[in-house]
Structure 1
C-alpha cells in the first residue's frame, strides 16, 4: 500500500514566499475537487492552522529529528482518503541541526526523502536572472537521491526578467512549474514568533482565496499534479501518542494555542475527552476535568487580561489542589508568580509555581530539546526521555522550584531551562512532540 501522491514545497531560505505559495496551492487544488492533505515538515506551531483553513483538512507536523519511523508512519497515515498530499518545508530545504540525533537532522529534505515526495523549490528571483538557475541547480545536485519536481519563480519583475530567468533554468534542465509576478500584498502579517496566528488574521478567507487565484493564474497546476509521487506507506498500525488523562481541560484562545495537532489527534483517537476553555474570556477549566493543560502561545501580549481573569485563576488554583496541571512555554509562564511585559510592568499570574519571567529582558531561545524527566509529569513517569522544541523570547528572572527535567539541546549540551514542579503542577519551556522512543 502507498500513500497518496505528494509534493513538498520548500525554498533556499525563509522569507521567499513558500507559505503563500503553499496556501494558494492547497486552496486551488481543493477548488479543483481534490481532497488535499497538508503536512508541515519540522516543529512549527503556527503554519498547520493556516493549512487547515486553506485545505479544509487538519494539517500535521512531520519531524525527522523528534519522531521515530513508527510515529512518522502513524502521522503519514492521516493522509488516508486524500487524493494528493502537499507538505510545507521549514527554513531552507537542507537546514537542520548540525549534529544528527538518533533519528536524523530534522531537515525538510529528510522529510521528503522518507516520504518519497518530490520537492518544488520556490525561488525568489529578485535581483537576478540566469544566475537563479545556479542556485536551483545547486539545490538539485546537493543530494542527487532527493526527488525534484521543479521550481516556481517568485517575485519576477517583468516579462523580460521572466524570459531571462527561464533561459537559465532551461540550460540547467530544471522544469519551471510557475512564474509569480512581484506583488507587495502577498505577505502574511508577522510578529516576534513568526506569522500571527490564523485565528487573529483580520480576513484570512479572503487572503487565501486571493492566493489561490494568483497561483491559478501563474502556476501550471496540472504539471504540479503530475509531478506528485510518494514512497511506501509507513507502519500505520502504530498508535499516535496516548492521552495523559481521560478528561483534559485544554486552554485554547489567542494566548494559548500552540499544541501539536498529532498529539490532539492521538488523545481523541484513544477516547480522551478534550474540554476547551478560554482564559482570555475568563473561563474556568471544567471542574470535573482530570487534567488542565495550558499550551504555549502569547501570554506576554495579554498579561493584563490574564492577571484580571479571576474566574480562570480561581478555577485553576482550585483544580491544582487535588489534580494535575501542566503548562508548556506560554502556559508555563502563566503558571508562575509573575510575568513582566515588554514595558517592564509586572503582572501577577496563577502563582502555582514560583517562576517569574520577563518579556522586557528578551533572550532568544530556539531549538530542539531532549528532556530526561526527574519527576512524573502528566502522561509520563520519572526517567522517561522526551523530545520537543523551544521557541520564545522571554527570560527567566526567578525559578525557585524543583527542576522537572534535565534538558539538552540537539547537540547534547545541557541547558538551564529545566522546567519546574510543585505539588500537582508541572511546566516546561519546551513544547512536547514525542516520547524519545516513539
Structure 2
C-alpha cells in the first residue's frame, strides 16, 4: 500500500475539505482507498468512512504504543492500495515529548516513510506563501513535502504569483482551490455535525468529489504517494475487553467510541451488542458488561430523562454487572444534567455527580490515567492513555470514590477524576490505548 499525509500549517487551512474531496473522488474512480485521522478525533473518521466505504482509522504517536500503530497500519494495508492520513492542527504540532512520541503528524511521516501533501491557505498573501513552503520543506529532514495544494485562491493572477514564487523550490503545486469553491459542512461545538446526522451527506460528498476533480491534480497526487514502511507488530488490541458480551450504547447521543478499540475487542473474542438509549432501549440482559461512550447527551437530555425503560434497565444491569461511561456516558450516569438553557434533567443516578452544559468551559488535551481500583478498564494501578475534549463542567462533584488519577500529556498532575460506586464507573477521560507493559 502507498500512502500520503495531508497536512497544513494550522487548523482551519482546509485539510478536511481536501481530504474528503480526494477520498470521494478517488473512490468514485475505483481506487481502493483507506483513510486515517492522525490524533484523537471521532467525527472526521466517520466522514472518511462515508467517503470511502471502508472503516475509519485513528493513528496517534503519543497515545498509542508503536506496536499498536504498526498493527493498525498493517491491517489497513490489507485490501487497500492507498492510505490518505489527515493530520490535526499543524504538521509539526504535538506536545513536548521524546522524538516520535509527540502526537504530531510528522511523527507518523518519519516512522512510516509517508510523504506530505501540504495544504496552504494563501488567502491574504502571494509570494510569501513560497517562504512558508520553504520552511516546511527544510524544517525536518525526516519529513518530505511531496506536493502542495493552494487553498482559498483569489484569482488566476493570484495563483500565478504564488506558483512563480514556489517554482525554484521544486515542489509541485498539485491543486489550487478557489476561495468560493468548497461546499461548507455544518458545524457544532465539538466540530463538524456528525456524518450520521448530516442532512444530505451523499450530496455533500459528491460536491466535494467534483471540487477535487475540478481543482486538484488527482493523477499527480496519486503519483506523490510512497510505499508504506511497515514494522513488525503484534495483534491490534488497545485494551482487553470488559466482558465476553458487551452492551454498547449507540445512537446520536452515544457515538464517540474509537473503531480500533471495538475491533480489538472483537479480535480478542468479544461480542458487541448495540442498543439505543434514545429509543428507550435497555442494555441487553444477556451481556456481562455495559459501555456508555461519549457523544452529545447534552443535546438530547430531555429525551434521555424521559427514557424510563433505558434508565430502569441500566439500573438493573448495574446491580450485578459492570457499567462504564466515558465523557457523555459519564454525564448520563450522574444524578442530573443541565442543558444549554440551564434546564435540569434527571439522569441515571448511578453515580452522584451532576454536570452542566450551561456553564461551559473547554477541556482539551491528552491525558494519562492511573486506575484506582479493579474495573472494566483494567486492574488497579494500570496506566491508560487518552484525552479529554468536552465543554461540559462538573457542577456537583458528588461523593463517589475517584475512578482514576490523571496527568496531562507532559506529566503534570491533574488529580483524581471521575467516580466509581459498586460496579459503576466513569469519567470525562476517553480511552485510546493501554500503555505497553
Q: Give the TM-score taking structure 1 as reference length.
A: 0.96
What secondary structure is seen at the aligned counterpart in 2 of 1:256? coil
For the 8 Å contact 1:373–1:406, the answer to whether it is kept is: yes
Q: Does 1:410 align with 2:409?
A: yes
The CA deviation string for residues 198-244 of structure 1, in whole angstroms up to 9 with x for no partner, is 11111111101111111011111111111111343222433323322
Query: Would you identify which runs of 4 or more consecutive aligned residues in structure 1 move more than 3 Å?
Result: none
For structure 2, the residue ranges without an aligned partner over 5 or more in a row are: none
For the 8 Å contact 2:87–2:105, the answer to whether it is kept is: yes
* Superposition pairs of residues 24-423 of structure 1, within 5 angstroms: 24-79=21-76, 80-97=78-95, 99-100=96-97, 104-183=101-180, 186-241=183-238, 242-399=240-397, 400-416=399-415, 418-423=417-422
CA distance in 1, matches of 2:168, 2:322: 62
CA distance in 2, matches of 1:55, 1:211: 13
Alignment size in residue pairs: 434
CA distance in 2, matches of 1:212, 1:23: 8
**Distance change >3 Å, CA 177–CA 244, structure 1 → 2:** same
What secondary structure is seen at the aligned counterpart in 2 of 1:257? coil
CA distance in 2, matches of 1:103, 1:10: 17
Displacement, 1:189? 1.0
CA distance in 1, matches of 2:253, 2:354: 18
Q: Give the TM-score taking structure 2 as reference length.
A: 0.97
Which residue of the partner structure matches residue 4 of structure 2? 7
What secondary structure is seen at the aligned counterpart in 2 of 1:202? coil
Greater shift after overlay, 265-274 or 384-393? 265-274
Displacement, 1:184? 6.0
CA distance in 2, matches of 1:222, 1:103: 31
The CA deviation string for residues 280-311 of structure 1, in whole angstroms up to 9 with x for no partner, is 11111111111110000111111111000011
For structure 1, the residue ranges without an aligned partner over 5 or more in a row are: none
Which residue of the partner structure matches residue 424 of structure 1? 423
What secondary structure is seen at the aligned counterpart in 1 of 2:213? helix
- For residue 18 of structure 2, the aligned residue among 9, 18, 21 is 21
Displacement, 1:417? 5.6
Displacement, 1:101? 6.0
Displacement, 1:196? 1.1
What is the aligned-residue RMSD (CA, Å)? 1.4
CA distance in 1, matches of 2:207, 2:108: 29
What secondary structure is seen at the aligned counterpart in 1 of 2:417? coil
**Distance change >3 Å, CA 417–CA 191, structure 1 → 2:** farther
